[in-house]
Amino acid sequence: MTTIRAVAIGTGHYLPERVVENSEFAECLDTTDEWIRTRSGIERRHFAAEGELTSDLALKASTMALADAGITAQDIDAIVLATSTPDQTFPSTATKLQHALGMTKGFAFDIQAVCAGFLYALANAQALIVSGQAKRVLVVGAETFSRIMDWTDRSTCVLFGDGAGALILEAQSQPGTSDDDGILSSCLHSDGTYNDLLYVDGGVSSTQTTGVLKMQGREVFKHAVSKLAEAGEEVLDAAGLTADDVDWVVPHQANLRIIASTARKVGIPMDRVVVTVQNHGNTSAASIPLALSVARQNGQIKPDQLLLMEAIGGGLAWGAALMRWSKA
């Protein structure tokens, strides 16, 4: 018996032109390149230019993904865009992207789950495809986190960067086994008990200001490793597969120590983990699709390989997805 899977057919990414090395922070903060590298693994990140919006980054990543898939915006039925740094309070950044792409049919909407946003967007896109509501969905993660940094807080402002990544999913009939192409399983979780571990101290209904990012780093680290490992095991169990079957882990690129600790807990060696955090910093919802696109561009990810994606962010919200790259 066949089943409909959401199969990846194209990826794209974009990083703003401005590259900010760790040394730049040392000029204005009590920090050093060594301090930042030791605690996060980050060496540099990209910041959007003045006037460069989240939708601008999303447009460039999406244009690259469409070209990679060999289709046009008119072939897309829906856009699901994950971001915590939208252009406006409303309307959605996704509808701005829809217009910028020249897409005149279908629908577009935003999802906000901070660093787990892309996985939430991916799961929603998968549901749209499996239910028959859409045949092709453009899934985007795009952020301009440099707009919400407290530049006096050395523990947070050195960690984040701006960027965008895009993935196009297509409905394809598959045999219905663990060897299928596409998304094999996914899981989403959240627990608002931990709101104060990672948040922005502003908002429309509370302060009528944007606010800046606040984080309890040690507590986030502790929850990240255990919850990401559990989510990874959950999607593997759901697909009837094990860590030995995974070709690549494509994790949220928040902190090299979190990435390494989680991989060790799941039982996957670091030579099977895609790592881009050193060059991009934490780009929140953009980090997984950005890393995925870069890894494909570098020739790491190949046809028929099994990918485990996992992320955690403010909320706390977290999740994982298991996807086999197309054999074709």
Positions annotated as catalytic residues are 115, 252, 282
How do 162-174 and 136-144 pair as beta strands? antiparallel
d(CA 182, CA 170): 9
- Which ranges of the chain would DSSP assign to H, the alpha helix? 22-26, 33-40, 54-69, 93-101, 117-130, 217-239, 256-266, 277-280, 287-297
d(CA 263, CA 280): 20
Tell me, letter by letter, the H, E, C secondary structure of 32-68.
CHHHHHHHHCCCEEEECCCCCCHHHHHHHHHHHHHHH
Q: Which residue has the tokens 């605690």?
A: 39
* C-alpha closest to that of 139 among 80, 185, 215: 80
First to last CA, the chain: 21
Q: Is the peptide bond before 316 cis (omega within 30 degrees of 0)?
A: yes
Tell me if residue 121 falls in helix, strand or coil.
helix
Structure letter (DSSP) for residue 134: -
Tell me if residue 167 falls in helix, strand or coil.
strand
d(CA 45, CA 16): 9
**For 90-112, b where at least 16 C-beta lie within 10 A, e where not — what string?**
eebbbbbbbebbebeebebbbbb
182: left (phi over 0), alpha (psi -120 to 50) or beta: left
